[in-house]
Structure 1
Amino acid sequence: MHPATSPTSGVSAEQAHRTPLPRRRLLRRFVAAAVAVPLLLGGAVACGSDDEAGSDGKVELSIFWWGGDARNQLTQQALELYTKKNPDVTFKTTWQANQGYFDKLATLTAGGNPPDIFQIDDNFLAEYASRNTTLDLNEYKDGGKLDVSKFPESLWQYGVVDGKLAGLAAGENTQGLVYNRTLLTENGLPEPTTGQSWEEHVAWAEQVSKKTKVPGTMDPSADYKAFWVWLRQQGKDLYSGNDLGFTAEDVTRWFELWKGARDRGATPTADVIHEGNATDITKQLVVTGKAGTSWVWVNQMPELKKNTNDELGVVAYPGDPSAQWARASMYWSVFRGGKHKDVAVDVLNFLVNDPEAVKLLGTDRGLPSNLDLRRAVSAEIDDPAMKQSIEVETKLAETFGASPQVPIKGHSKVRAELIKAAEEAQYGRLTPAQAAEQFFTACKSAIA
């Protein structure tokens, strides 16, 4: 029962209706201010002169990123190298773990004090770009100050939002189907190959299940990466403009594909599938021995390999591999209202194109975006699993298609809702059609 009409609330319906209004007005004003501040700052600075150094010619840039201790140390070293080559430029650095990073970035932006340079991912790039917070890097790219000529084209294009280059790919990643090569070899079974259809993959997984008693494949019906690639192979997409790029009927077909796989014993049981949905990369089913494959990002191969003694292989997701693209593992963006935008862009160019800097940063943020430097980094890597990741991604790059648009606001909620709906179907609590309708309705609400 609604609180305004509850007989046990202790207040009248009129009071219950009226009391929250001031609080709601305050919240609306706060949200409006949070969105308006970057707009006002960007517009105000754009009218003045750019890149005014201090009286002593010195420039200090603030830069903010998330990551662990290793990423912090590597990034600090790369920035120190920039200062060594450009003594008039220094950095005010801030970093933290992923948890709470975007809350802090939102607070800094709303307070009118965003960093000059900040790390961002495709969950939030469109949101910050739509608020006019991010600098359009196109003019620098076209003017030759930001070199993306050695990038896969679909990689730098995956930073474009509404025609503006809002973020520069700090590294590249793509989807990969990782499989247990040792399990297959010991049982005389064929390895999966790039280009197999989804139906062929399910049939292969059923064969693995019967021969080894290990379910052939993790059920990826809750995995947005797999769903997205499958949609693109059907001529659809996850998003289209500011709307969804698929229908409830498309989702039904996706869920029915995997119900059929579960019915044939090609996948684990629902409880084990849930475990795969809920655990981190170190406990994916392909390394815990509970499935013959896992659906991951290619650059996660080294972390997977640390958790198994078995040999692992990796191929593209089933279906036409041109549906996959060079995805930015994360981006560097520049604040549109910063005082030293030209210098900030030069720092971005340095981090992705300077041979010494790229060698320092290695593959911490994904495979180097610059293909020439990626090959150079690969030649010096001793880790076999990382070498394998780079080789596979380089091979897949030959078949990459055009990048999709960057996900729109609400993408994180869409991902979470897919897991919820898929598990309803996996446990048999809803039919594929019912689960699809639940997901589609929730997605509409998430992006509204």
Structure 2
Amino acid sequence: MVTKTRWIRGAALLSVGAVALTACGGNSGGGEDGDVTLQFTWWGSDVRHENTEEIIAAFEEENPGITVEGEYGAWSGYWDRLATQAAGGDAPDIIQMDEQYIREYSDRNALLDLSDVDTSSFADAAVEGGRTDDGLVAVSLGVVSLATMANVEVFEEAGVEVPDDSTWTWEDYAEASQKVTEATGKDIYGAGPQGEPMGLQIWLRQQGEELFTEDGELALTKDKAHEYLDFTGRLRQDGGFPSADYISETRELGPDNSPFGSNEMAMGTAWATQLTTLAKASGSELQPLHLPSFAGDFSENGAWIKGSMFLSASAETEHPEAAKKFIEFFVNSKEAGEINGMERGLPANLDVREMVLEDVSGPEQKAADFIAEVEQQVDDTVPVPPPGFSDFMGIITRHETEVLFGRTTTEEAAGEMVEELKSTLE
């Protein structure tokens, strides 16, 4: 059965927080006893689109009474478009979901409870990442962990040793950054700011704290925010980071075109599964490193395992059983796993993962080994982000940028940032 695909054009103007999510998926057509048509929306690269189309075709062949119509595009505009569709009573039956929006939609009763989708072969962290008070509302497609990527060839050219990631501290990180910058005459920089809000989360978790509580309240204090911004500001002043202009101009670039992916930085923070994309873009030998810590012990670096992305279903879909059948096929079938590989993270289903790992090598193997090692070290997960969390990246980055440009003090920026984050959650 041929999959019908609609390309997304233009951008919607509404945000999730500004709309009331009401009836969804009401125009799918067909009844449960006859032919069923499901709408499925996702974001991603061309490779992901091709993989997903192939998975849909495999599902339709196995389930001749169900047609899945795909709607896809880039991350930019995805959530505004979805919010607009939901507000108009036309949300897709199946939604590729990101963790920062799970509670946004769940709290508005917009997501179907998927508790009867089989997750018995999943790692616990993969399951809990999609669970709220309303049940299992998002099923993980894969898992990832944050890493400090090191460009081995850049380090060698600079005459600087790649840090020992089992023992390095934040001061070691700063020193390595400065050495690379100095050795290359600022042609290549040691590193750049951590990705937000994950960088701040790691900083807090290493000190036994969290960015937000289980109840969705801000846990960040002004003092901790000050410490974090001060460390970032010192790295810029001491030469480990590039100029504020350079950082500002390159922040929004994707992995392929980022300073690290373009061999202009020795270290960059990224999800481990992005290693393949970064290695291809840079053409260099890359190595994922465990994040620096205060203790000098990688087992105390605050890392966690998270769902890379999820599948959810609209609470108002006219075809809940068909939607769950598709999700079950996507996450549990070895056929879908073989097609998808590690494109959406290290498979959450451990049986599918074992099969996928039989055929990986090079950067993919490095990423898989890294995530597996982190899984053995951690025994907790980060709470499902509260509504408003999707604004954190912009808020933290904006105040960090003000510090880097010297337009405000770290103390002033910390106070204003905390109040703004708190206001966003309230």
TM-score range, shorter chain: 0.7 to 0.9
Question: Per residue, is there more helix in 1 or in 2?
Answer: 1
**Partners in 2 of 1:396 and 1:300 — Cα distance?**
16
Moved more, 304-313 or 421-430: 304-313
Counterpart residue number, 2:409 = 431
Cα deviations by residue, 1:163-215 (Å, 9 ceiling, x for unpaired): 62221112222211001112333425243414522233223333444445456
The 5-angstrom pairing of residues 49-448 of structure 1 reads: 53-54=32-33, 57-138=34-115, 140=116, 146-162=117-133, 164-186=135-157, 187=159, 189-213=161-185, 217-220=190-193, 223-240=196-213, 241-319=215-293, 320-321=298-299, 323-381=302-360, 384-448=362-426
* Aligned length, in residue pairs: 401
Distance 1:209 1:134, change over 3 A: same
Q: Residues 85 and 195 from structure 1, CA distance in 2 versus in 1: closer, same or farther, beyond 3 angstroms?
A: farther
Pick which of 435-444 and 211-220 moved more.
211-220
TM-score (norm 1): 0.81
Return the alpha-carbon distance in structure 1 between the equivalents of residues 140 and 382 of structure 2: 15
Code of the residue aligned with 1:251 in structure 2: it is A
Counterpart of 1:37 in structure 2 is 22
Q: Could you say if the C-alpha distance between residues 158 and 98 of structure 1 is closer, same or farther in structure 2, counting changes exceeding 3 Å?
A: same
C-alpha distance in structure 2 between counterparts of 1:188 and 1:430, whole Å: 34
Rounded to whole Å, the distance in 1 between the matches of 2:299 and 2:258 is: 23
CA distance in 2, matches of 1:108, 1:188: 52
Q: What CA distance in whole angstroms lies between the structure 1 residues aligned with 2:396 and 2:38?
A: 40
Change (3 A) 1:34 1:266: closer
CA distance, structure 1, for counterparts of residue 17 and residue 273 of structure 2? 39
Provide the aligned C-alpha RMSD in A: 2.8
Q: For 1:431 and 1:33, locate their aligned partners in 2 and report how far apart those are by CA, in whole Å.
A: 33
Cα distance change on mapping 1:264 and 1:378 into 2, 3 Å: same
Query: Can you list the C-alpha shifts for 1:13-55, whole angstroms capped at 9, x where unaligned?
Result: xxxxxxxxxxxxxxxxxx99952624xx79x9xxxxxx9623x
- Gap runs ≥5 in structure 1: 1-30, 45-50, 141-145
1:46-96 Cα offsets, whole Å, 9 max, x none, are xxxxx9623xx4333332222344323322221222222233333233223
Q: Which amino acid aligns with 1:134?
A: L
- Give the TM-score normalised by the residue count of structure 2: 0.85
Amino acid at match of 1:423: T
**What secondary structure, in the 3-state scheme, does the structure 1 residue paired with 2:327 have?**
helix
Structure 1 residue 334, shift from structure 2 partner: 1.3
Q: Could you say if the C-alpha distance between residues 191 and 235 of structure 1 is closer, same or farther in structure 2, counting changes exceeding 3 Å?
A: closer
Instruction: Give the SS at the match of 1:234.
Output: coil
Q: Which runs of 5+ in 2 are unaligned?
A: 1-15
Q: Deviations over 1:366-392 (max 9, x none)?
A: 22222332232232235x222322222
Structure with max Cα Rg: 1
Residue number in structure 2 paired with 1:11: none
Q: Are the aligned partners of 2:129 and 2:384 in contact in 1 as well (CA < 8 Å)?
A: yes
Residue 155 of structure 1: CA displacement?
Answer: 1.9
